[in-house]
């Protein structure tokens, strides 16, 4: 559970930083303003989606682990598969976001050019 929360938080921060860097890269060249603002908004939206998905899954996990009497119950295959797929989804998103962050950071800080354009 801790791994899921940490990777979710890192993925949310990564995509939020991606969006902010993409939108602020307009200061280098305003000819591609619309592309950078739209894609920055998409990156921020992905971060918000991951945040709410992680929040909902974190609220569901205690309900899966315990029955109505408060006793610990054996999770079925579907619950274990759901948690595995959620962890995999967040981890893949984190890796993709880090790759994008490396490319966007290089373009923004080293080349001093707009991200898209």
Task: Report long-range pairs for 53-57 (Cβ below 8 Å, ≥24 apart).
Answer: 53/86, 54/4, 54/5, 54/8, 54/9, 54/12, 54/90, 57/4, 57/83, 57/86
Q: Is residue 92 part of a domain?
A: yes
What pLDDT, in 10s, does the model give residues 25-84? Answer: 888 888 888 888 999 999 999 999 999 999 998 888 776 665 556 566 666 667 778 888
Q: Considering the entire predicted model, what is its pTM?
A: 0.81
Task: Indicate if the pLDDT at residue 102 is higher than 90.
Answer: yes
Q: Is residue 82 part of a domain?
A: yes
Q: Is residue 116 part of a domain?
A: no
Q: Is residue 65 part of a domain?
A: yes
Q: Domain count for the chain, please give it.
A: 1
| All residues at 6 or more sequence positions from 3 whose CB lies less than 8 Å from its CB, including other chains | 87
Q: Is residue 13 part of a domain?
A: yes
Show the domain range for 59: 2-110
With DSSP H G I counted as helix, E B as strand and the rest as coil, what are the percentages for the chain, rounded to 5? 80, 0, 15
Q: Is residue 88 part of a domain?
A: yes
Q: Is residue 93 part of a domain?
A: yes
């Amino acid at each position: 559970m801790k791994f899921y929360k940490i990777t979710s938080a890192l993925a949310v921060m990564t995509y939020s930083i991606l969006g902010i860097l993409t939108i602020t890269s307009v200061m280098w060249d305003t000819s591609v303003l619309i592309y950078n603002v739209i894609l920055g908004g998409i990156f921020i939206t992905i971060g918000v989606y991951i945040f709410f998905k992680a929040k909902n899954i974190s609220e569901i996990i205690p309900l899966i682990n315990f029955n109505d009497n408060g006793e610990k119950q054996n999770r079925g295959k579907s619950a274990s598969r759901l948690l595995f797929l959620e962890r995999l989804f967040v981890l893949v998103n984190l890796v993709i976001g880090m790759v994008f962050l490396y490319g966007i950071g290089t373009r923004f800080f080293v080349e001093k050019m707009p991200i898209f354009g």
